[in-house]
């Protein structure tokens, strides 16, 4: 079990919760390597994916995770425009409640929408990404991936590079890294830094090349043009030259250093094509970890820990 019945923010999780999720995900990762990848653990339970923002990989990942645990996974499509108002989200919550679902995964363009939904519903709610706020399961799968490759989390220096301002991935990852004793370093143009980075509790460095040799992980963020108002940097070429990961910069990382990206990647902008495909880039390992970690979150939230069926 986890200490909260929802996962809306990394702040809902204690250090013990995070350790439990990572440990449980490890046993599910083994299941995912078998030919028959299905466990009966959540048979009879219903998981609804309420994705009101475009998403392929995260929605698919949650859907596969639910199905591998034998839950009935349903993609509930409501038009984003019908649910932008609080009143409409209330109607959606009532509708989902009447369908007696056990867990709702919500992605919404407004920060705080998952919290509203959780307050209005009896079932568990998982935040699949809300506005520029948080994306907690992404941070959990990132921790899993880092630990799998580097063998530990405590004491690592993780540079989060690029569009911090608009990134819910960064919002969750900074919090999660601090809980596990790693040091997040925010790196990027001043125009893409939040106005109060100190609130997040991370150091800020404006020069990527200066900091690379001290990093264990370079976590590249997607430039979120759809969220930016105006042009926060002169050109894509300049962005790539100053902030993009490329072969020369990969060489400047320590030899054990790794590169990560939450996807979808803008090849040639925040990451060059050759680095994206390099063995030190863990992008696909992150996607793989996503399924196991989301299985673990669902299992722990829905009381699966009592049945002892993880193995
Ligand atoms: C992220 C998201 O949507 O927040 N992607 C994802 O979940 N796979 C990051 C992004 O879109 O840049």
Ligand 1 within 6 A of CB of 297: no
Rounded to two decimals, what is the model's pTM?
Answer: 0.94
Q: Which of 97, 49, 93 is nearest to 72 (CA)?
A: 49
Ligand 1 within 6 A of CB of 129: yes
For the chain, which residues make up each domain, given as ranges? 10-133+290-307, 136-286
Q: Which of 206, 293, 283 is nearest to 27 (CA)?
A: 293
> No. of H helices and E strands in the chain?
12, 9
3-state SS, residue 245: strand
Topology of domain 136-286, CATH: Rossmann fold (3.40.50)
CA of 120 from ligand 1 middle (Å) equals 26
Do 10-133+290-307 and 136-286 have matching folds? yes
CA of 264 from ligand 1 middle (Å) equals 7
Pocket test residue of 58, 223, 224 for ligand 1, highest count of atoms within 8 A of CB: 58
Burial class (CB in 10 A: 0-12, 13-18, 19+), 74: middle
Ligand 1 within 6 A of CB of 287: no
CB atoms within 10 A of CB 33: 9
Q: What is the pLDDT along the chain (311 residues), one digit of tens a residue?
A: 899 999 999 999 999 999 999 999 999 999 999 999 999 999 999 999 999 988 888 999 999 999 999 999 999 876 655 565 666 888 889 989 999 999 999 999 899 999 999 999 999 999 999 999 999 999 999 999 999 999 999 999 999 999 999 999 999 999 999 999 999 999 999 999 988 887 788 889 999 999 999 999 999 999 887 776 677 788 889 999 999 999 999 999 999 999 999 999 999 999 999 999 999 999 999 999 999 999 999 999 998 645 444 44
CA of 307 from ligand 1 middle (Å) equals 33
Distance between CA atoms of 10 and 114, rounded to whole angstroms? 13
10-133+290-307 has CATH 3.40.50.1820 classification: no
């Amino acid at each position: 079990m986890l200490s909260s019945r929802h996962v809306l923010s990394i702040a809902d999780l204690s250090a013990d919760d995070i350790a439990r999720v990572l440990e449980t995900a490890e046993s599910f990762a083994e299941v995912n390597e078998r030919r028959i990848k299905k466990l009966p653990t959540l048979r009879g339970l219903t998981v609804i994916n309420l994705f009101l923002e475009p998403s392929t990989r995260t929605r698919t990942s949650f859907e596969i995770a639910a199905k591998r645990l034998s839950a009935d996974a349903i993609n509930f499509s409501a038009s984003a425009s019908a649910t932008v108002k609080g009143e409409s989200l209330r109607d959606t919550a009532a509708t989902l409640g009447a369908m007696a679902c056990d867990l709702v995964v919500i992605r919404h363009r407004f920060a705080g929408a998952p919290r509203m939904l959780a307050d209005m519903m009896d079932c568990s709610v998982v935040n699949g990404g809300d506005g520029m706020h948080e994306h907690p399961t992404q941070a959990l799968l990132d921790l899993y991936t880092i630990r799998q490759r580097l063998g530990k989390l405590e004491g690592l220096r993780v540079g989060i590079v690029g569009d911090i301002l608009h990134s819910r991935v960064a919002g969750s990852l900074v919090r999660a890294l601090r809980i596990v004793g790693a040091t997040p370093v925010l790196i990027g143009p001043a125009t893409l830094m939040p106005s109060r980075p100190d609130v997040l509790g991370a150091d800020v460095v404006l020069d990527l090349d200066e900091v690379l040799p001290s990093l264990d992980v370079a976590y590249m963020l997607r430039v979120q043009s759809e969220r930016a108002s105006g042009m926060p940097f002169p050109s894509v070429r300049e962005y790539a030259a100053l902030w993009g990961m490329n072969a020369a910069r990969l060489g400047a990382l320590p030899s054990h250093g790794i590169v990560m990206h939450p996807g979808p990647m803008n090849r040639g902008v925040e990451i060059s094509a050759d680095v994206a495909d390099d063995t030190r880039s863990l992008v696909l390992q992150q996607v793989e970890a996503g399924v196991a970690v989301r299985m673990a979150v669902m299992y722990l939230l829905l009381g699966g820990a009592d049945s002892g069926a993880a193995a």
